[in-house]
Amino acid sequence: MRKKGLTRALALALCAIAAVPAAACSTTGGSGGEAIDSSRTQVRVYHYNAGYGDKWVYELKTNFEALMADRSFEEGKTGVQVLITGDMSARTAEQWRAEQYDVLFLENPQEIYTMVTTGVLESLDSIAKVANPDDNNQTIISKMTEQQQAAYTYDGHLYAFPHYAGNYGIIYNRDMFEQKGFFLAAEPDEDTGDILISATNPTKSVGPDGQPGTEDDGLPRTYQEFYDLCAEIDAAGIDPLCWPGQYQTHHIMQFVDNLTISNLGYEQANLNYTMDGTATDLIVFNDDGSIKFEDDGETPVVESVEINEENAYLLARQKGKYDAFKFFQTILSNEDNYNEQDSIKDTRRSHVEMQQMFLENGSLGMRENAMLVDGCWWQMEADATFERMKSYDEKWAKENRKFGWMPLPQPTEEAAEAIANGTKKSTFSDYLNAVACIKSGLTDAAREASLEFLKYAYTDEALANFTYTVGATIGVEYLDVVDRSKLTYYESTLIDYINKSDIVYPISGTKTYISNVSAFMAQKKYCSPGVQDVLEAFAPYKAKNMSAEEYFIGHQNHFKGIIW
Amino acid sequence: MQKAKKVGLGQNTLKSRLFYASLVIIPTLQFLIFWVFVNFNSILLAFKVFDKSAASMSDFNWGLGNFKHWFTSASIKGMKYNYKDVLPALGVTMKSYVITLVVGLPLGLFFSYYMFKKMPGSKLFRVLLFMPSILSAAPLAVIFLNMTTSFLGGPDGWFPLLDFDKNKFFSMTFFGLFISFGTSVLMYTNKMDSIAPEIIESAHLDGANGIKEFWYIVLPQTFSIVQVFLITGFAGAFSNQGNAFILFEYSSPREITSLGFLLWNGIRDAGVSMNKMAPYAALGLIITIVVVPLTFLFRWLIEKYGWKEE
Amino acid sequence: MAKEAKKRDNFSPLTVIMLVCLTAYCIALIFMLAWALSQSLKHSHLFTYDPVKIPNKESFTLDNFKAVFINMNTNWRGGTQGSPNFLGLLINTVSYSVGGAFLNAAITCLIAYLTARYNYFYSKILYGIVIVVMVVPIVGAQASEIQMLRYMHLYNTRFAFIVLKASFVGGVYFLVFYAAFKSIPMTYTEAAMIDGASDWCIMVRICLPLVLNVFMTVFLITFIQYWNDYQLPLVYMPDYPTLSYYIFMMKMSSQPIRGDGLKFPINAASEPLNLAAAMILIAPVLIIFIALHERLMGNLSVGGIKG
């Protein structure tokens, strides 16, 4: 009996192993991969397959292959075949060197500097600095900011182009806003004192841009207006804000980053990366370590300090950061301002579910949500919901609904005024830090074809196509050529906002930055000791009940500690 | 347990030695290549202190800076964890091990005893206790998390104590225990089944029943297997991250961060930056140097004072 | 003997308490699995609002299961190496999990046997190695491992797992085998040796059969572990993805899965879809287990030594 068992088990296992090589011959078992066309030159493209999806890269492939149909890069071959692979796994510079890809689209690549300095990448000079007749004689470099050029240049050569850009912010349900009248009135109602528009008081306030008759009319300009709006929405029985409980830290801390950068404005924000210049608004501390306030007891005293790489930790004192913490304290410490159940308590509530709830507002007796904190690319992720709703009724289709990217409110009336009259530009922080690059050591044909591929990808036409497909942007200058009529309402509000904003990219050529890339990410940077994030610090459910002052003071040590 | 000090009878021949050598050679080679050789770099890494502003990973000095990081405030910048995290993590590690020891282990043994006695439902219980090992922890964690957050745990749930936000350590430990019985119970029952019937019968004649029978007869006979779980549990407690990752992913609240999770999450956090990886290599080395002798001491103590099989 | 014991043994307080605990445990576990199964049969957009109730006429669907296969049979990875379909994935999975588990269990068993039965100095070294390895946390060795595989021309080949899994330093199972072999009295084999049996004969004819049930158990557990493992294929043999690798990749994506058989597109990150995927992954193992559990879980006992 025992023996039989052993023999059988052995036989079974050995058969299984023996079957493997035989089976191996028959694999990859009816694969869906594209066969290699030996009559064309291959360009192997890798892309990080996250929220932006892969639709754009397949479109790029189709268009580029058509464009190159008659062009020969090597003897005996005509045309190009683009082969695409996407995944979400991190690799070291050495692993990238070993991979069989030609063109790389990477997101948040901490290893990019090692890749550049250890020769994993090919110089892009030949396509970046030469005018392209197929693109109105523009150069790619002319579409990049100086900061971007500096960050990706090494030994005088350019090694990467910035790719898609984005960050977290507020998406508001404009259909709901219109239906419920959640717009601020130009003047409060004379009789009721109601700050929102109504039938008797229909004139909207001018909004953040200060111009009447524009799409942002009635939207909050300042923190105070935003708080007031939240209170009104809550009074209407609707949850003002929501975000996915599963990724609460990520979403909110990215939003902290975007709001901070928006407060600081381009120059002061960029100091965090260039670490060279004058910081004009560093908060002064008393001898006992508390914040020194003006006589009004509210406005912190600020000073100017020259910043360099050695003392850049002083930037933790920037008033824009304090203001942002203050904003989050005010919003988060009152659970009426947000959907506490799905955004904080339910740690399994995913981004896709939250998007669904946001789109299906009020279905099945759930509470409604007026504003969603999410990445600006959220529509791509919500595609399944849009399509399903469309199958019920055409009016729910993405094209027929109105959502809006909300301009970020400013901390003070003066700052809002400066935005309105144009003395300060709105500022947007890109956090994805996506890049496109080409690997070194390719065959002549593959290198030439890959360079052509990127050259095409950075023409105005291809860049605009990206925006039509994804509904978001690439971090170079081209937005003026985007045809707004091809965009949804949401997409055009986003593109308008980004187009008129200065964009701060989280990149720098400084040594301090390069050796601490991950410490500069929002989730690590804007922390304070003793708590994990602003949610833990301020939300009543987490029961820490910190004040923004305490958080800010703690943040000083934290920021200095993780980098210097 | 037989403890022959000498080489076994008939094993001192050339033939035996050749037999032995021919069988160990390939696994030994595999070990030398895929463990010793491959890990050699990581041991060296512990002594490499990288220039923090260096772009290239070949710029380093040999030194003890990575070790100091875990003991003094002269820490390496940009690290997710530092010396302040080590003691709490050690506390969590010990707490987890002690709970396994005083709750998990006796429960497992009692369960096995129940099945050994062929009490009602034994077969079914045995199969179901083993089930979590089959399903693997990851999908079970997903199910468990979903259930606790939606209706099981939290202030409004059926079991308010199960709350992955407020009661992290308890919830994680509960989950860990819940899925932990498979292998151990299987091994215990298999071992118990091998107890000679005469021993049990004679114990019954002497009037030993229930807990007495368990304590004086069954436990000693099973102890060789228990011992295995005691030792591996002790050694593993310092390097395993347990279920922390599948339950809490990348967030690392202090109350659930054991040494194993600290290492695991820290390494993940360091990503591709060798300058941040190096202190973890050092911490790993420290843990090894402390825990290896402790494990052998522990084993010696168990063998000396534990039950011995007849 | 078992039957006699059953006749005699009555409930003691200890066994009563255990009965209660075990019953509670089993109810909880069955409830968990039933919940997971029922929710995998629910439209994912309805799960968002109600993750508890059993699906009714309106919310019941097989779409989640269909979607797992629809996505599997499309080019889900892209690239030139192609994305294996269900059959391809299954072949990869079986080859890795059965082959790897057998190899690993066999080598571990072999070394444990030699270490336990041969009182050579080298045996002590081997034993020490196992303990040390169990305690040493490996930090950042992956890169060197890949390098070594490349050097041996085994990286990203179907057989990469063989050199990685032909190892005896896995931990607990070595010690299990070790304890099992140690529990066989030396006199037992010495008697055979006196009768002129060779080392090989003693190992294969006498000792290995005695640990058969331990071996089968270890093999089974290791097999399941590898069946569920997506990391090794992901890192060392990415062109030979297994089922769990596929499910891991599917979960990582936020893209909608569309297809003819589906009433609505389903987002790949949705929970019911992932529960359905988990069910698909679990099903074969569960069937094997239920069919073979009597044999695998060891009613054959080491105690047969006296028979």
Whether A71 and A217 share a structural domain: no
What percent of chain A is modeled with pLDDT above 90? Answer: 65
What is the per-residue pLDDT across A149-186, written as a single tens digit (0 to 9) for each?
988 898 899 999 999 988 899 999 999 999 999 999 99
Q: How many domains does chain A have?
A: 2
**What is the domain range of residue A437?**
41-121+123-158+431-474
Give residues with Cβ within 8 angstroms of C117, minimum separation 6.
B8, C181, C184, C186, C189, C203, C207
A12 has a pLDDT exceeding 60: no
Given an 8 Å threshold on Cβ–Cβ distance, is A562 in contact with B78? yes
Given an 8 Å threshold on Cβ–Cβ distance, is C167 in contact with B27? yes
Task: Compute CA distances A417 → A187, A206, A209, A422, whole Å.
Answer: 17, 11, 9, 8
Give residues with Cβ within 8 angstroms of B44, minimum separation 6.
none
CATH code of residue A435: 3.40.190.10
Whether A356 and A396 share a structural domain: yes
The number of angstroms, rounded, from the C-alpha of C252 to the middle of its chain's C-alpha atoms is 22
Chain B CA closest to residue C38: B143
pLDDT-based confidence at B309, cuts 50/70/90? low
pTM above 0.80? yes
pLDDT-based confidence at A23, cuts 50/70/90? very low
Sheet holding A168-173, edge to edge: A239-242, A369-375, A168-173, A403-405
What the block records as the tokens of C16 is 């009563």
The number of angstroms, rounded, from the C-alpha of B187 to the middle of its chain's C-alpha atoms is 16
| Residue A150 counted as domain residue | yes
Count of CB pairs separated by less than 8 Å, B with C: 297
Given an 8 Å threshold on Cβ–Cβ distance, is B35 in contact with C6? no
Identify which of A3-12, A318-327, A431-440 has the greatest average pLDDT: A318-327
Task: Compute CA distances B249 → A355, B265, C70, whole Å.
Answer: 22, 9, 29
- Residue A91 neighbours by CB distance under 10 Å: 19
- Residues A64, A67, A70, A72, CA torsion sign: negative
Whether A64 and A174 share a structural domain: no
Look at A138 and B3; give whichever has higher pLDDT. A138
Task: Compute CA distances A511 → A118, A277, A515, whole Å.
Answer: 16, 16, 6
Q: Specify the pLDDT at position A564.
A: 77
What percent of chain C is modeled with pLDDT above 90? Answer: 19
Q: Give the three-state DSSP class for A41.
A: strand
Whether A241 and A128 share a structural domain: no
Segment C105-126 shows an average pLDDT of 92
Whether A82 and A211 share a structural domain: no
Q: Specify the pLDDT at position C271.
A: 87
What is the per-residue pLDDT across C155-194, written as a single tens digit (0 to 9) for each?
888 888 888 888 888 767 888 888 788 878 888 888 888 8
Whether A417 and A345 share a structural domain: yes
The Cα–Cα gap between A1 and C304 comes to 11
Whether A228 and A359 share a structural domain: yes
Per the rule left: phi > 0, alpha: psi between -120 and 50, beta: everything else, B121 is left
The Cα–Cα gap between B154 and B176 comes to 18
Segment B159-181 shows an average pLDDT of 85
Q: Give the three-state DSSP class for A357.
A: helix
Whether A359 and A423 share a structural domain: yes
* Cα end-to-end distance, chain C, whole Å: 13
Q: Specify the pLDDT at position B57.
A: 59
Structural domain boundaries of chain C? 12-306
Fold of C12-306: MetI-like fold (1.10.3720)
Whether omega before C48 lies within 30 degrees of 0, making that bond cis, reads no
Structural domain boundaries of chain B? 83-305
DSSP letter assigned to residue A74: B
Could you identify the residue written with the tokens 């397949």?
A: A58
What is the per-residue pLDDT across A519-548, written as a single tens digit (0 to 9) for each?
888 888 898 988 889 999 999 998 889 999
Look at B205 and B92; give whichever has higher pLDDT. B92
- Residue B10 neighbours by CB distance under 10 Å: 17
Q: Specify the pLDDT at position A61.
A: 95
CATH number of B83-305: 1.10.3720.10
Give the one of B55, B77, B150 whose C-beta lies nearest to A564's C-beta: B77
- Residue A201 neighbours by CB distance under 10 Å: 19
Segment B47-76 shows an average pLDDT of 75
Task: Compute CA distances A194 → A184, A205, A235, A326, A476, whole Å.
Answer: 9, 13, 12, 26, 43
Task: Let me know the angle formed at the C-alpha of B253 by B249 and B258, rounded to the nearest 5 degrees.
Answer: 85
Helix axes B219-237, C172-182, angle to 10 degrees: 150
CB proximity A363 to C under 8 Å = yes
C89 has a pLDDT exceeding 70: yes
Please, what's the b/e burial string for A537-563 (b: 16 or more CB within 10 A of its CB; e: otherwise)? bbbebbebebebbbbbbbbbebbbbbb
Whether A85 and A207 share a structural domain: no
Given an 8 Å threshold on Cβ–Cβ distance, is B275 in contact with A511? no
Q: Model ipTM?
A: 0.80
Segment C133-137 shows an average pLDDT of 71
Could you identify the residue written with the tokens 């203001």?
A: A323
Alpha helices in chain B (DSSP H): 14-31, 38-45, 65-68, 83-99, 105-116, 122-135, 137-147, 168-178, 181-193, 197-205, 210-213, 219-237, 244-248, 259-270, 274-305
CATH code of residue A365: 3.40.190
| Residue A256 counted as domain residue | no
- Is residue A177 within a helix (H) or strand (E), and if so which, with residue range? helix A174-180
Whether A227 and A196 share a structural domain: yes
Chain A CA closest to residue B144: A348
What the block records as the tokens of B197 is 């019937």
C130 has a pLDDT exceeding 90: no
What is the per-residue pLDDT across A408-418, written as a single tens digit (0 to 9) for each?
999 999 999 99
What is the distance in angstroms between the Cα of C172 and the nearest Cα belonging to chain B?
6
Q: Specify the pLDDT at position A6.
A: 43
A223 has a pLDDT exceeding 60: yes
Which chain B residues are within 8 Å of A512, Cβ to Cβ? 53
What is the per-residue pLDDT across B118-157, written as a single tens digit (0 to 9) for each?
888 888 888 888 888 777 777 788 788 878 877 777 777 7
Which chain C residues are within 8 Å of A389, Cβ to Cβ? none
Alpha-carbon Rg of chain A, whole angstroms? 26
- Residue B65 neighbours by CB distance under 10 Å: 19
Neighbours of chain A (3+ CB pairs under 8 A): B, C
Q: Specify the pLDDT at position C97.
A: 92
Whether A337 and A229 share a structural domain: yes
Given an 8 Å threshold on Cβ–Cβ distance, is A347 in contact with B165? yes
What is the per-residue pLDDT across A118-137, written as a single tens digit (0 to 9) for each?
889 999 999 999 999 999 99
